[in-house]
Amino acid sequence: MTKPRFDLPENWESVGVQTGIRRQNADGSNIPLSPLIFPLTIHTNTVLIQAAHFPVQPDGWKYAGAASMTIRSGVGAGGNLDTSIGVKKLWFKRINLCVFPNWASDYGLTFYVPEWFTQIQYSVWAYIGPGDPDLETKTDKVYQEALGIHSDLTTLINDFDAYTGMN
């Protein structure tokens, strides 16, 4: 199985930018930013996210919010992206690699913005290169299935031994 090549620029495709700007009430008080929903129609569960705060964030700021994969569960009204999966923390001054569960090809990203931010921009790239970024998850699934088979065989052997009196 081919390993993904995250280090090659041609393996990434820009899929857009999501921006949030804090508003004020009539009395001048600030309204915190609501979560930003960014719908995607891509066939990868691996994305890069880069956060930028305007004006430029103070030097001490590191935390840039969080992102989660959001899918349609069929339970919510209107077929909206209503179910969050796999929250990932985002950081300033770096590009954040996020690998989400491979449960849907039509999903969204929901960005949770710290309430003190005045303006934020999240840039998103999708992995389009060779290899399987979800290899670790698949390997873990095979391991869990092997453990289940081992358990079933152990039970079968013990039952056989008990039946034949070899125990």
Domain ranges across the chain = 9-131, 134-167
- How far, rounded to the nearest angstrom, does the alpha carbon of residue 35 sit from its chain's CA centroid? 15
Give yes or no for residue 142 having a pLDDT over 80. Answer: no
Higher pLDDT: 57 or 161? It is 161
pLDDT tens-digit readout, 18-50: 999 988 889 988 888 899 988 887 778 899 999
Task: Please give the pLDDT value at position 95.
Answer: 95
Higher pLDDT: 156 or 22? It is 22
Q: Architecture of 9-131 per CATH?
A: Sandwich (2.60)
| Neighbour count for residue 7 (Cβ, 10 Å) | 7
Output DSSP code: residue 105.
S
pTM of the model: 0.71
